[in-house]
Amino acid sequence: MILQKPFIWQLRPPAHNDDISSVGLARRVRSIKRPVISNFQITWISKTSLRRKCCVNALASRSIWNDANCAAYGEAKAGAGAGVKDFIAITLGTGVGSGIIVDGHILNGANFAAGEMGHMVIVVDGEQCNCGRRGCWERYASATALIAQTKDEMRHAQDSMMWELVDNNIDAVNGRTAFDAMRKGDVAGKRVVDRYIYYVACGIINAINIFQPEIICVGGGIGHEKETLLEPLRQHVRRERYSMYSSKQTRICSAELGNDAGVIGAALLDH
């Protein structure tokens, strides 16, 4: 089960405790017996214990894992990374989620906070991020960032087809707008997509240079663009990766499990 804010207050004891085996949560946490300290996405459980907010009897013997790690583990064991030991899953959604699998195991770090690649800086003194830093990858490569970049381009390109696609309502822009316009031959839409893909590639190249995984899979809302996103991204990677002369290269592909990745990963982590 993956818990988010709208559900946490409504959770009720299941008919049987065995109905819940493992829980994925959008924060840096591994065990339900550990206190949950505030983070940037979920300040609503600041300085308290999740056990006091949830059903103690139902969940006391269960485990809680970071949701991105659950998704990465699910993809690693049953999806795009099945059969490999070194694997990274990237999710391009509201933010940039990531999970790192090394030698078949989740890389948790000493404090269970490892793997937050969305908060590595790719633009020094760049846009302000919610984490307190400037220039974080998720400020440029998330769906939220793409929407902001699309709106900014539209304001400078009043004749862009993107206006037609949203019925002249800039508030209707979503993560598909620029891609759809590009497919129709819109120059401004292509500018947005090209720039956005380069930002995504920048972070992925960093991940390859640091971890040299066998596979990186890309999912999330923008990941639905599949090869429209991935093929130009691979071109950037081929030009800039440190390991360009290696006989073995990281394969970049689409995630396979969709929204089920986290659920599958949480279940597998309990066994």
Q: C-alpha distances in angstroms, 111 versus 30, 87, 96, 107, 136?
A: 9, 21, 20, 11, 21
Whether 35 contacts 51, CB under 8 Å:
no
Single pTM value for the model: 0.81
Whether 258 contacts 80, CB under 8 Å:
no
pLDDT the model gives residue 173: 98
Which of 31, 28, 11, 21 lies closest to 267, judged by CA?
21
pLDDT the model gives residue 205: 98
Q: What span, in angstroms and rounded, lies between the C-alpha atoms of 77 and 213?
A: 15
Cβ atoms within 10 Å of 163's Cβ, excluding its own: 19
Cβ atoms within 10 Å of 69's Cβ, excluding its own: 30
Whether 137 contacts 119, CB under 8 Å:
yes
Taking only the tens of pLDDT, the chain with its 271 residues reads 444 433 333 334 444 545 555 555 554 454 443 444 434 444 444 444 554 555 444 444 456 788 899 999 999 999 999 999 999 999 999 999 999 999 999 999 999 899 999 999 999 999 999 999 999 999 999 999 999 999 999 999 999 999 999 999 999 999 999 999 999 999 999 999 999 999 999 999 999 999 999 999 999 999 999 999 999 999 999 999 999 999 999 999 999 999 999 999 999 987 7
Q: C-alpha distances in angstroms, 60 versus 17, 31, 44, 50, 240?
A: 9, 10, 21, 10, 48
DSSP reduced 3-state for 64: strand
Q: What span, in angstroms and rounded, lies between the C-alpha atoms of 210 and 114?
A: 13
- Computed over its alpha carbons, how large is the radius of gyration of the chain? 20
pLDDT the model gives residue 22: 52
pLDDT the model gives residue 72: 96
Which residues, in sequence order, are bridge partners of residue 48?
36
pLDDT the model gives residue 10: 38
Phi, psi torsion values for 22, nearest 5 degrees: -155, 150
pLDDT the model gives residue 253: 98
Sheet holding 2-3, edge to edge: 2-3, 22-25, 63-66
Cβ atoms within 10 Å of 183's Cβ, excluding its own: 14
